[in-house]
Chains A and B, each alone.
Chain A
Amino acid sequence: AQKVTQAQTEISVVEKEDVTLDCVYETRDTTYYLFWYKQPPSGELVFLIRRNSFDEQNEISGRYSWNFQKSTSSFNFTITASQVVDSAVYFCALTLDRGSTLGRLYFGRGTQLTVWP
């Protein structure tokens, strides 16, 4: 069975602080994809990143960075110099590269990030 765990339910930081959102996943498949989505107050989920299981290279996009470690089954997300606009719920998700369930996303419970001015 597939499972995604986001142990941090809520995180509060003050603007300009760095913050890391944790994501731990479980799967026995060797080929899979990991995602992060952002849910702002408007409600829709906004895609941030996709990473496949064969690519452990960390990625940086502006103030965002992602650390994928297969050895610990983790795919953590760091926001550097956080801003008020980063306040949102962030979801980590997993999908398998398997025909019958291709595209089906398994989500964690989400982490509510609040950035105070």
Chain B
Amino acid sequence: EAGVTQFPSHSVIEKGQTVTLRCDPISGHDNLYWYRRVMGKEIKFLLHFVKESKQDESGMPNNRFLAERTGGTYSTLKVQPAELEDSGVYFCASSQGRAPYNEQFFGPGTRLTVL
């Protein structure tokens, strides 16, 4: 069974540009989570989808970040316009049922560098 996949693995952009990160959860997993780790700091929650609905988006830092999950399958996280402080590793996770009763499976992350 394929795990959680994320694309791209790395992205280097200039301040002011737009970047879109993609996450493909494990097939059949209704719950999808986005997290971010800024260098040397803790991994922080961004938002949680249940199917195509945003269950909790309280961790989104500001309105430059837009997450979507069309059809309840893959998800995208768009940053527009990107700022220097957006640099970090963006992780996606999925679970079949609601966590914490069900394990969250994490992808390898997308490393975003904003110059």
Cα–Cα, bound, A4→B109 (Å): 21
Q: Are B48 and A104 in contact (CB under 8 A)?
A: yes
Q: Enumerate chain A residues within 8 angstroms of B31, measured Cβ to Cβ.
A: 103
Of B91, B99, B105, B107, chain A has the most CB atoms within 10 Å of the CB of B99
Contact residue range for chain B?
A: 20 to 34
Q: Enumerate chain B residues within 8 angstroms of A46, measured Cβ to Cβ.
A: 106
CB distance from A89 to the nearest CB of B (A): 10
Q: Enumerate chain B residues within 8 angstroms of A52, measured Cβ to Cβ.
A: 100
A44 and B108 contact, Cβ closer than 8 Å, known pairs A50-B100, A102-B99, A103-B48: yes
Name which residue of chain A comes closest to B9, CB basis.
A43
Contact residue range for chain A?
A: 20 to 34
A42 and B108 contact, Cβ closer than 8 Å, known pairs A102-B98, A103-B95, A103-B100: yes
Name which residue of chain A comes closest to B50, CB basis.
A103
- In this assembly, does A77 line the interface, its C-beta being within 8 Å of a C-beta of chain B? no
What are 17 A-B contacts with C-beta separation under 8 Å? A37-B106, A42-B108, A43-B108, A44-B3, A44-B4, A44-B109, A45-B91, A45-B106, A50-B100, A95-B100, A102-B98, A103-B55, A104-B45, A106-B45, A107-B35, A107-B42, A109-B42
